[in-house]
Amino acid sequence: MTIILAILLASAVLAAPVIHRLKAFGATILAIPMMVVVGFLLNEMPDVLAGKIEREVFANLPLLSAEIAFRLDGLGLLFSLLVCVIGALVLIYAGGYFSDKPSVLARFSSFAYLFAAAMIGLVVADDLLTLFISWELTSVCSFLLIGLKHDDSNARSGAMRALLVTGAGGVALLVGLLLLADIAGTTSISTLLERGDDVRSSSAYLFVLGLIAFAAFTKSAQAPFHYWLPGAMAAPGPISAFLHSATLVKAGVFLLARLHPVLGFRPEWNVLLGHVGAITLIVGATLAFAQNDLKRMLAYTTLAGLGTLVLLLGIGTEPALKAALLFVTVHALYKASLFLIVGYLEKRTGTRDVTQLGGLLSRTPIAFVAAILAALSMSGLPPLLGAISKELVYEAKLGAPEAPILLTIVGSLGNALVICCAIMVGLSPFFRRHKPPQLRQVPAVRLLLGPLILAALGMLLGILHDTTAAPILDAALTSVVSEPVTVEFTLDASPQLVSWLGKLTILAGLLAFAFRLKLLQLLAPVKVLDRLGPTALHDYALNGILGTGSFLSNIFSRDGIRQSLIWPLLLVSAIGAVLLMSGTENWNFPELDLNPLRALLLLLVVAGALGTVCAKSTYTAVTALGITGFGVGMLFLVLGGPDLAKTQVAVETLAVLLLLLVLGRKPIQPEASRLPMRIGRILIAVTVGMTFTLLIWSAAPDGNLSQLASELAQKSVPEGYGRNVVNVTLVDFRALDTMGEVFVLAIAAIGVTLLLGGVTKKNSDSSSSASQKTLIRSPILRAAARTIVPLLGLISLVLLVRGHHEPGGGFVGGLVASAAVLLHSFAFGYKGAGARIISGKIIAIGLAVVLTSGAIGLLAGGTFLEGMWLSGKVPAVGKLGTPLLFDAGVYLVVLGVSTKVLFGLLEREGDLS
Amino acid sequence: MSDWLGIGVGVLAACATYLLLCKNPSRRAVGIILFGIAINLLVFAMTGAEHSRAPLVAPGQEVPRAPFTDPLPQALVLTAIVIGFALQAFALVLITLTGPVDDAEQEAGEEQ
């Protein structure tokens, strides 16, 4: 199974390049892998039929106590074959359908393969988690494919609706499957199927049934969740044929069939599925009957078909299950074929309105052959497969343990309407007297091959039923019934009754077709329900949710920084108030140790901060900020944080530059706000400041190191081979955190570039990006830079290399290196946008180095980012290992990010001089 | 030392908050950076900074000589300083690009 999935996924990746190279013909080539998969499946068939099925475990997930496991049984084989046969034909068809739009075709083929992989993963999954993942993937693929024409708002809203409905079902499915796994004590489906009695006797049975049935109903478009399916018809023809008639919508039916051995055989199952299925059948058939648009009509008859399937599963007797499985096959073949034909007619004539089409028999005889075969199968006439299926369905309904007569009447009524639709699709466009519309040239071979083969398959399988379809169906039936339950089943109805019922239904269908317009008039009041229908409710609910969301977010986030800041600042103040009220006994004043140096630095820091508030010009404010920043750096140094001190000083240098670049020569205007406003501002500021003070006072430790800290310090040399505990923590013990932070840096740089992008585009033409830009013309600066720049570069490297043992490391090294680069640019000029691009490349290389150093640990049999060391020692550096490589990556990222940001700002501000 | 350091950090935070609440974009920009410094100092001071000996192992030794300052908050603050720089750059650009319209208009008028 793994190889089949690998083929499909690889094709999904290769599809786009193939289409781009070969255009529309590529789609025909792309059908080959799908055929190969069909070959694989047929090769496995003898084993499956003999019941020799191996379970294949692809991956073990001990943390989730689940597996990625597959097992091809009869049911899986039936569905897989349907998916791949129809998939291959639809791909060829799509080559003709999208022949003038290669980019759409490329997307379609890629998504179609992804969908096929997900769908096959679903039907052969032998683990509940595997099943769930595949289930969700099919929803996602459906979303992507419905929205294939993403410039069409109908397609977008249809895709969104489908995703929301099936997504809600997915959530329910997850909970249901987890409950199921909990009850059965296993996630393996094959084991689960043997423990059906545990599940049925469990007190949570009703929850499980409800959740899983809900998931199945949303996916298989059962009333009242059916409304997403007609919306999905905004998708192009091939997609409707592949997903929304033949395969995807049967996933819910598959889920119910798969879990029938576990969840079935209880009256709740029969009641729930029986009612929902019957209602969907009637709703679908009635709505289909009222359509003029052929595609929508087919969509609604698909609802009727899905309703029939759920109804049959709900009856739950062996003949009913057999009828359901046969009908899955029949329906997929004729419905896909009809969808493809309608797509062809639309391409050919430009319309799919049944009142506009007519007289096409002589113009497109091949399409007619395919259409009539499919329509006959849909109506259940011999010798087509549909006839056998229909007989079985009647048998099943007549033999239902409960309400057989009612079920038969409902079923026959629905069938009559479906037959009427079959006539409208299969006969009306070809025979009705109507001026034939203008015909266009289309790639007919590719467009007609698929429908013809599918319709012919319906006939062949009907004639050769006993040797072809029956064995697979029997194998599938074995999977669904699982435990050989002896169903009390006696055929009350004679074969004659079944045959008469069939004839009667066809007569009713013909009558319905003849008197369609009159009947529609009778049905007209029903259309009022549209406004109150589930689609409208869905939209109301969605708008309600979005409205509530924006109402809530409007309370907390307003336009502008100040309004948005109020809430977090008030929260901080509240923390302060709590600390204040908790009393002074929790406060911890360590021994006063304020030597003159520390006092001086603290005074400097505070004075700088006050200076920023009082400053009247930007330069003053930035200078005052610089005093604070450098003061804090010094403070770090005297308080035992040399690494922090170096980093703080380097950042402060760059921050001053940054501020000057951003703020430029803007004056600071005096605040024009009124006095109460200003007092309020001061009050908030003082409260926040007080909170900070109280936090420090109440949190200061009693002088003993935490266990974590002493552990880090003890492990640093023996396990991290570094004497600088801070650096070892950063690049080895907590390297994953550091990696995350490095990525944040890169993202911030991207953000700045994007923000500035809009600004720079305007002036990029005038100040040409290729030429050398000079910023400051100063011989003194140049002379100084000639010596200082290489020196800085060297220092940055020294900081990087020795960082593992002495204060230093990749962060501060990168900052110093970027200072060197910037000094060079200021003195000698730089190459406009080119410099930014180089910075971007440096970031990318840095990230790659970081990831590589992590991957080495993984490849060497350890975990990701685990430190791996060479045995020897290098003088002046010590042992060599991946943490040092990691630090080098950090160095590059920091260098790239700070230069990218500052070059971007330089470009925006132009020359500083 | 923490008591005095606490008061110092409090003053820093108060100044930063005041600047953040101002209308002028330049003041807000300075406020953001000052706030970052205050927070870094807060984390550093909260975990005790009275030992004043760096968490470095002398050559030939196995563990740092006690008492030494807690290395973990230092690692946290170190990355916070650098990330703070990148995020400050982002915020500064955002502030100047989305600053009050009247400010930008006044400026344009002055230049003409």
Q: Does A730 touch chain B (CB under 8 A)?
A: yes
Side-chain-facing half-sphere of A197: CA atoms under 13 Å: 3
- Whether residues A411 and A533 fall in one domain: no
Asked if the structure places residue B31 within a domain, the reply is yes
Q: How would you class A152 by CB atoms within 10 Å of its CB: exposed for 0-12, middle for 13-18, buried for 19 or more?
A: middle
Number of domains composing chain B:
1
Low-confidence ranges of chain A (pLDDT < 70): 436, 482-494, 526-532, 557-561, 584-593, 664-673, 700-704, 758-775, 832-833, 909-913
Q: What is the spatial distance between Cα A522 and Cα A368, in angstroms, rounded to a whole number?
A: 32
B16 falls within a domain:
yes
pLDDT at A798: 93
Q: Which helix (H) or strand (E) holds A64?
A: none
Query: Could you tell me the pTM of the whole model?
Result: 0.70
* Residues A798 and A837 placed together within one structural domain of the fold: yes
Question: Is residue B63, in this structure, part of any structural domain at all?
Answer: no
The answer as to whether B11 is a domain residue is: yes
Instruction: Express each pLDDT in B38-94 by its tens digit.
Output: 999 998 888 766 666 888 888 888 888 877 888 888 899 999 998 899 888 888 888
The letter for the amino acid at A360 is L
SS3 A776: coil
Tell whether A635 is covered by a domain: no
DSSP A110-140: HHHHHHHHHHHHHHHB-BHHHHHHHHHHHHH
Residues A510 and A532 in one domain: no
Report the C-alpha gap between A118 and A104 in whole angstroms: 21
CA–CA dist A395, A387 (Å, integer) = 12
Whether residue A376 sits in one domain with residue A464:
yes
| A26 neighbors A18 (Cβ within 8 angstroms) | yes
Q: Residue B79: give the domain boundaries.
A: 2-51+69-111
Rounded to an integer, what distance in angstroms lies between the CA atom of residue A694 and that of residue A716?
A: 33
Provide the pLDDT for residue A117. 95
Decide if B61 and A745 are in contact by the 8 Å CB cutoff: no
Containing domain of residue A377, as a range?
Answer: 266-514
- Give pLDDT, residue A475: 84
CB-based contact, A705 to chain B, within 8 Å: yes
Spell out which residues of chain A touch residue B101, defining contact as CB-CB under 8 Å: none
| CA–CA distance, A188 with A61 (Å, rounded to integer) | 12
CA–CA gap between residue B39 and residue B46 (Å, rounded)? 10
Judged by CB atoms closer than 8 Å, whether chains meet at B77 and A641 is answered as: yes
In this structure, the number of other CB atoms found within 10 A of the CB of residue A865 comes to 25
Assess if residue A656 is contained within a domain: no
Instruction: List the structure tokens of A789.
Output: 């720049």
DSSP string, A842-901: HHHHHHHHHHHHHHHHHHTTS-TT---EEEEEETTTEEEEHHHHHHHHHHHHHHHHHHHH
How high is the pLDDT of residue A795?
94
If phi over 0 gives left and psi between -120 and 50 gives alpha, with beta otherwise, what is residue A380? left
Tell me: do A321 and A181 sit in the same domain: no
Last residue of a domain, one of A454, A489, A514: A514
As to burial, measured by CB atoms within 10 angstroms (0-12 exposed, 13-18 middle, 19+ buried), residue A110 is buried
- Number of structural domains (chain A) is 4
For A355, residues 6+ apart whose C-beta sits below 8 A from its C-beta are A292
Same domain, A224 and A272: no
This model of the complex carries an ipTM of 0.89
Q: Please name the member of B1, B13, B74 whose beta carbon is closest to the beta carbon of A598.
A: B1
> How close does chain B come to A567, measured CA to CA in Å?
12
Chain B (26-45) residues lying within 8 Å, Cβ to Cβ, of chain A:
26-31, 33-34, 37-38, 40-42, 44-45
In a domain, A9, yes or no: yes
* Residue A44 near residue A52 (C-beta atoms within 8 A): no
**Is A663 in the B-facing interface, judged by CB distances under 8 Å?**
yes
Q: Is residue B73 situated within a structural domain?
A: yes
- The answer to whether residues A114 and A171 belong to one domain is yes
Final residue belonging to a domain, choices A514, A540, A573: A514
